[in-house]
Structure 1
């Protein structure tokens, strides 16, 4: 997107025309072991996430939006982390480095607890 919006800046800072791709053999440019490890980890984490989705989809949990909201907030924090990391690495270090990520996770849990305890129970709303 930046290459479309800021083409001059992109060409000046990210121009790779000086790099000769053929100077390094194709075999040395591929990292099969890292690729396989990443693929295996992806499959493991996706398989582990499926039971979580099953729990969220249960009828009694659909009424309790605190679970979904807390999980969504963590996903938004992760997306924010990735965007800030691409924009400014030093800012990302200030906000997310070290134990600070635990504050983000705890804030999501507190948000979920507040939602869980402040919402009107569904069984009383049906009466």
Structure 2
């Protein structure tokens, strides 16, 4: 589910995602939700079916930092995925509070490949 969502968003349209430095830009215009009452609900499709199974060491981390009066940068990190080529997948969303609720204005992704000896984050596909 997560892999399909990532692929669909990556292929949807190119986007310049301000505030998502170090992450491969994704197209926020194709985000399936919004407006939402809070950022966690808005970004729920990123972690909805996680963990896929109760095996290994599934880990979900969500952190937020304020960037202006009505803007947050939200980082979501998933580790322990069933895809053995990916050690972890991370998303960075820039969300803004509007009159109707919270909306995604920028979105990016990156991965830590399991077969990379450096275990560094990358925007390239893992193999």
Q: Structure 1 length as normaliser, TM-score? A: 0.22
| Structure whose alpha-carbon radius of gyration is higher | 1
Greater RCO, CA 8 A, separation 6+:
2
Whichever structure has more strand as a proportion of its residues is: 2
